[in-house]
Amino acid sequence: MAPRKDAVSKKTVAKIEKLAEGVLKAVAGGKNPSLDIPVRSLANVKWSDKRRLVELGSQKQKRYFFNVSMAKKFMQTFLVSEACKELIDSGKTTSIRDLYYVTKHTIGDTKQNTFEEQDESDPIIEDLEVTVDALREELHLFAARKGSMVGPITIVDTGDTIDLRRMGSGGWAVPSIVEENIITFKKHEAKYVLLIEKDAVWTRFNEDKFWKRNSCIIVQGGGQPPRGVRRLVQRLHSELKLPVYVLVDNDPWGFYIYSVMKQGSINLAYESMRMAVPDARFVGLSSFDKDKYQLPGNVSIKMDDGDNNRAKQMLAYPWFRHAKWQKEIQEMVRSGLKFELEALSRRGISFITEEYVPKKLKDKDWLE
């Protein structure tokens, strides 16, 4: 007996079936079957002032079956579609790596394989996502889990009730799939969400019980937050109306992590609405914090050419054009220095949890 589908799964299956029905209709009408695939390139990415998001444009490309250069990708698209539909129908999930093996086989009596390497199947998954307007996670595909979370909130994860107030030193491991049909939020006393770039810094906040003293949820992103973390933080903000603060290093990469959480990324522009938090606030190390918090010069790191080039690129981004951000980035370039969050430990091992972040929040000393 097939498992009962929730509303999201039914909707996703309907979209996949509609895709297949369109091809069958074209064949029945004697036409060359085709798919309209939204173009996932920088040229088709735009900035929306109204939504304050990086969005995918309207450009599409046709993928025909009767076309020597397109036939293989056309076939691959439906192989992946069929595999995803089977996953949804069975109520199971799998990794994108596993899907590659599930869909890889030799075609007939030829020596040709449907997929040679995973770097062929991954873009097809992204094509399917954007074509049927469904998150990868709604297609029942997951990536390696990365990220931890603790705080004054109870959640239900696939039927299991979990109290995130009692997660010990490691926290609850944030899964890749965090949609409403998998994760639901229950009782909470949280006032805000603090997304922390690095595991070591998150561990300090957890060990110091910062979340308990300040009634907040702390989430560790492991560098650039994976999709599951970004989506979960976005849900905490949109569904529970919790403000989001981002704590990252004072370097171009830390600034970029913040911007991806706030505006979305160019690579995933088609998912910005479901992953970004335009109201997110930056409480990470500022280029002016060295003097403000009396950090000794020997805890700084010299900017290299890659850092400088990245910083200068950021000055041109529309989402960094605000005067305060221009001043922030220009000061970083001018000084030629960058700082990791751990540099604050020179002021005391718990300075960051007991003084730095509390003062930033109290004084509203953040960037937006």
62: enclosing H helix or E strand: strand 60-64
Q: How far apart are CA 36 and CA 134, in angstroms?
A: 15
pLDDT in tens, 203-254: 999 999 999 999 999 999 888 898 899 999 999 999 999 999 999 999 999 9
User: Where do the domains of the chain lie, and which CATH numbers do they carry?
Assistant: 7-142 (1.10.10.10), 148-362 (3.40.1360.10)
| Token pair in block for residue 135 | 């998150």
Is 100 one of the catalytic residues?
no
Q: What is the mean pLDDT of residues 338-351?
A: 95
Nearest-angstrom CA–CA distance, 302 and 99: 43
Q: Alpha-carbon distance 111 to 107, whole Å?
A: 7
What pLDDT shows up at residue 3?
66
Question: DSSP string covering 293-334, please?
Answer: TT--GGG-EE--HHHHHHHHHHHTSGGG-SHHHHHHHHHHHH
**189 or 42, greater pLDDT:** 189
From the list 64, 101, 293, 317, the catalytic residue is 101
How does pLDDT run across 131-184, given as a tens digit for each residue? 998 888 899 998 777 899 999 999 999 899 999 999 999 999 999 889 888 899
- Across the range 56-61, mean pLDDT stands at 87
The pLDDT of residue 155 is 98
CA distance 175 to 158: 11
In the chain, % of residues over pLDDT 70: 99
Q: Over the stretch 269-290, which tens digit does the pLDDT of each residue have? A: 878 888 899 999 999 999 999 9
Six-digit token string for 30: 């004697």
pLDDT at residue number 272: 84
More confident residue, 273 or 12: 12
